[in-house]
Amino acid sequence: MKYQLLDFWADWCTPCKMMNPIIDKIEKDYPSIQVVRINADEDSAMVQKYNILTVPTYILEKDGEILSFVKGAMPEYRFKKELGLDDLKFGENSTNA
């Protein structure tokens, strides 16, 4: 199964908008990661399921298991480190699953 990156965001959230290009780049560079964008104002079930208290919040999962939980906006290099992408041995244009 593919990894999933859950992206909790909101229309009014400026940091969410700042992170969009980074999320888009991860989606392009890591095809084994499926990005799921969740509007926190519209999907209360997912917000409750993951106990989301702030946006942006990002959760990396594999097979339903949470691998990392990252809150807030940050530079790309730090975001990748916080998610643990280097630890998972993903490479640019990786197809690892």
CB atoms within 10 A of CB 67: 17
CB atoms within 10 A of CB 2: 14
Is residue 13 part of the annotated active site? The answer reads yes
Residues 7 and 58: beta-carbon distance below 8 Å: yes
Is residue 38 part of the annotated active site? The answer reads no
The residue annotated as part of the active site, out of 6, 16, 22, 59, is 16
Instruction: Compute the C-alpha angle 11/13/16, nearest 5°.
Output: 95
The residue annotated as part of the active site, out of 13, 46, 73, 74, is 13
Which residues are catalytic, by number?
13, 16
